[in-house]
Structure 1
Amino acid sequence: MINYDEAYANVLRYTFDFGVETVALLESNGRILAEEVLADRDFPPFDRATKDGIAIDSKALEKGLERFKIEGLASAGMGQQQLHDFHHCIEVMTGAIVPENADTVIMYEHVTIADGYATLLQEARKGQDIHVQGSDVVLGTVLLPRNSRIGPAEIGILASVGKSEVQVRKMPKVCVVSTGNELVAVAETPLPHQIRRSNALSLCAALQKEKIEAFSIHLKDDKASIKKELDHLLKTYDVVLLSGGVSKGKFDFIPEVMESLAVQKVFHRVAQKPGKPFWFGIQPELKTVVFSFPGNPVSTFANYHVYFLPWLYRSMDIEIPKTEVVFDGTLQVHPPLTRFVQVSTENKKGVLWASPVRENGSGDLTSLALSDGFICLRPRDKAYEKGELVPYIST
């Protein structure tokens, strides 16, 4: 049995680059950008009026003019207009190109309009209410670096530079496997000795958040059928996520089957709670990675977030989130087990506090709905006390 830090480091040793694909702009939402995106023009691409009002030449202000004849109108979408006389003005709408020979915009609230003239109601300042060309970014500026996660704001930026198609990192093909004779389909009414399948669906839902549509299959506790199915799955998928079948029971066939299929065991059993029986390995010829989690719901859920997500982020070449919270409790964590404790969080004056969630062991599925994540408490002689900073894994 190895400790948590050794297990974590070993998992991250076996990450892979799954390549790049091109998808439609909206399909890239939530994906990882595989290209550097540059500004294809200045932003904004012209001096832009930021208010509805009039545009003037500031030389008129220097000469003390307060009344201007209206020459014309400029609206968003029109080509640039020209101010022919600095004694005059042009009405402009928000988003319009500032007219040639004009350098100041005065909003309607600060003028009166009558008989074809605009009269100032208060002092104006040269250059006001103009979004100057290139003041955001200039042509060629990196707007989105490679390996950015694409969200709604990034979609807008990509659209603004004409990216109707986007290069994103390919996600791994993942199969989620549940095992156990006691499990029945969600729609079935379980007998007293049965329970409905939940772990596989929780994993599939978690993977959907990462834009991975996983294939899911359930296997009965039969060694021959497990071997046959896993042989096929290992050849078909990049990652196999299993729930159950890795403890020391007489029907926990996964470690034995993996060995028979030439899957190299990296480790089996970790000094942690929940999830001690966690098995991790790789089929080196196929480069298929296998995460085999214990079957208890909290164990499966915790190990997915503690190990699989960092593995995925490292494979995507993006930063693994590192967060600390303030512990709002007291807990003794005796060696040798690292504890992953379910917590609810509360923001108190800009500081995130984490309180342990009351739960009834790793089989208590309902407790997961009450928690926001897990804190990671390594074993030590001294108890963890209220006010300590501790690592936090959001779920």
Structure 2
Amino acid sequence: MVRVEEATDLVLSHCFKPAVVRVDLNDAAGRVLGAVVKADRDFPPFNRVAMDGIAIWFDEWKNGRREFYIEETQGAGQPQKGLRDVQNCMEVMTGAILPEGTDTVVRYEDVSIQGNKAVILTDEIEENQNVHAQGKDARQGEVLLSPGIILSPAEIALLASVGMSDVPVFSFPRAAILSSGDELVEVSEVPEVYQIRRSNTYAIQAAMKHIGWEGTQYHLYDQKDFVIDSLRVIAEDHDVLIISGGVSKGKFDFIPEALDSIGVKKLFHQVSQRPGKPFWFGTSKKGKVVFALPGNPVSTYMCFYRYVLPWLWKSLQVTYEQQYAVLAQDFRFNPVLTYFLQVTVKNEEGRLMAYPDAGGGSGDFANLKRVTGFLELPIDKVNFEAGEVFPYYPFRLM
């Protein structure tokens, strides 16, 4: 049996090596950027007017001039115009290029315009005010985005601004999601009294889709040869297998033996944690990665967010920022195991407060609907006091 820290290190040291693929800009949100993106020109590419108003030559105002004759108007999207006389001004619109012969913009709110004459009403004018200088945000050739960034609307805007209609992103690993056990029937079936409907694979698939990752579902019946043959075929067509069930010590738990027979090397089996103690992890010479998770729903769910998801982020070069939450109530856990406590986290005055809701054990998947994630309580303690801070693994949007 390995400790949680050792299991984590082993998982994260056997990451998938993604390819770089290109997707349409409209489909890039939520994907992980796979290449450096540089500015194709200065940002902004010209001295940009930042307020509607008049553009003047600052020295004229500095020398006491307050009345300016309006020569014409510089609109956004128009070629640059120029003042014929620096004693005059030009009306300018937000987003326009700053007219030649001007360096300062005075907003309309500080100007009185009568006919073709503009009178500045304020004495608080600064040189270059309301002008977004060329190259202030970024210079041509400057790195704007680096690989490993999860693309949000802000990054999509940057990609559009540099003309990147198709975007290089890291490919997700081809994933198989497998359930195991003769007691499981399809969702559409009416189960016998001794059967239950499959749910774990749907939960995993939903968690994957939440981050844009797709997987194909399979089911393994409790027949040794069938399990071996199925795993051999499925492993050939996928980069990662996520299996739920069949990894404990039951008479029909064939998964570990079957994986060994098809050349998947066990790196660990059993972790000193609750839930999820029977967790099995291994890799093949061909670089296939297998997460064989305990079949109890809470165990499956916890192991996905604690191990599979961080593995994916590291594989895609995403910087994984660990979240933390404050235990809101005293809690006691006696076995010498790392305990993943189900909690409901609430933001209270800027602090994430975690309220325990342990439920009825690893088989109580109905309890998951009430909680927001897991708090990781360390193995070397029994009593956990309100106010202590622990790692938090969310599986719901806050």
TM-score category of the 2 structures, normalised to the smaller one: over 0.9
The runs of 5 or more residues in structure 2 that have no matched partner are none
The corresponding residue for 2:322 is 322
Deviation by residue 1:44-64 (Cα, 9 ceiling, x = unmatched) = 111111111111111221232
Q: CA deviation at 1:102?
A: 0.6
Preserved contact between residue 333 and residue 379 of structure 1 (Cα < 8 Å): no
Q: CA deviation at 1:394?
A: 1.9
Q: CA deviation at 1:382?
A: 4.5
The corresponding residue for 2:154 is 153
Q: CA deviation at 1:183?
A: 1.8
- Cα distance in structure 1, aligned partners of 2:25 and 2:327: 42
Deviation by residue 1:265-290 (Cα, 9 ceiling, x = unmatched) = 11111111101111111122x21111
Bigger drift between 290-299 and 342-351 goes to: 342-351
> Amino acid of the residue matched to residue 146 of structure 2?
P
- Cα distance in structure 2, aligned partners of 1:376 and 1:119: 66
Deviation by residue 1:208-267 (Cα, 9 ceiling, x = unmatched) = 123211111122222222222111011110000011111122221111211221221111
> Amino acid of the residue matched to residue 51 of structure 2?
K
Please list, as runs of the form range in 1=range in 2, the aligned pairs for 1:335-374 lying within 5 A after superposition.
335-374=335-374
Please list, as runs of the form range in 1=range in 2, the aligned pairs for 1:151-300 lying within 5 A after superposition.
151-284=152-285, 286-300=286-300
Preserved contact between residue 276 and residue 303 of structure 2 (Cα < 8 Å): yes
Bigger drift between 10-19 and 96-105 goes to: 10-19
Q: CA deviation at 1:381?
A: 4.6
Compared with structure 1, are the counterparts of its residues 187 and 173 closer, same or farther at alpha carbon in structure 2 (3 Å cutoff)? Answer: same
The alignment's C-alpha RMSD in Å is 1.6
- Cα distance in structure 1, aligned partners of 2:385 and 2:131: 55
The runs of 5 or more residues in structure 1 that have no matched partner are none
> Amino acid of the residue matched to residue 266 of structure 2?
K
- Cα distance in structure 2, aligned partners of 1:318 and 1:186: 35
> Amino acid of the residue matched to residue 186 of structure 1?
V
- Cα distance in structure 1, aligned partners of 2:175 and 2:55: 59
- Cα distance in structure 1, aligned partners of 2:249 and 2:147: 45
Deviation by residue 1:327-367 (Cα, 9 ceiling, x = unmatched) = 11222333421111111112222221211124111111122
- Cα distance in structure 1, aligned partners of 2:289 and 2:60: 73
- Cα distance in structure 1, aligned partners of 2:306 and 2:297: 14
Deviation by residue 1:29-70 (Cα, 9 ceiling, x = unmatched) = 212212111122111111111111111111221232222221
- Cα distance in structure 1, aligned partners of 2:63 and 2:158: 42
Question: What TM-score, normalized to structure 2?
Answer: 0.95
Compared with structure 1, are the counterparts of its residues 164 and 88 closer, same or farther at alpha carbon in structure 2 (3 Å cutoff)? Answer: same
> Amino acid of the residue matched to residue 36 of structure 1?
V
1:99 aligns with 2:96: no
Preserved contact between residue 179 and residue 201 of structure 2 (Cα < 8 Å): yes
- Cα distance in structure 1, aligned partners of 2:262 and 2:310: 26
Preserved contact between residue 375 and residue 391 of structure 1 (Cα < 8 Å): yes
Q: CA deviation at 1:304?
A: 0.6
Preserved contact between residue 244 and residue 292 of structure 1 (Cα < 8 Å): yes
Compared with structure 1, are the counterparts of its residues 62 and 8 closer, same or farther at alpha carbon in structure 2 (3 Å cutoff)? Answer: closer
The corresponding residue for 2:145 is 144
- Cα distance in structure 2, aligned partners of 1:336 and 1:90: 77
The corresponding residue for 1:18 is 18
> Amino acid of the residue matched to residue 81 of structure 2?
Q
The corresponding residue for 2:135 is 134
Preserved contact between residue 147 and residue 317 of structure 2 (Cα < 8 Å): no
The corresponding residue for 2:36 is 36
- Cα distance in structure 1, aligned partners of 2:62 and 2:331: 73
Preserved contact between residue 190 and residue 196 of structure 1 (Cα < 8 Å): yes
Using the aligned pairs only, state the percent identity. 43
- Cα distance in structure 2, aligned partners of 1:9 and 1:106: 59
- Cα distance in structure 2, aligned partners of 1:135 and 1:258: 57
Preserved contact between residue 334 and residue 379 of structure 1 (Cα < 8 Å): no
Deviating beyond 6 angstroms after TM superposition, the runs of 4 or more aligned structure 1 residues are: none
Q: How many residues align?
A: 394
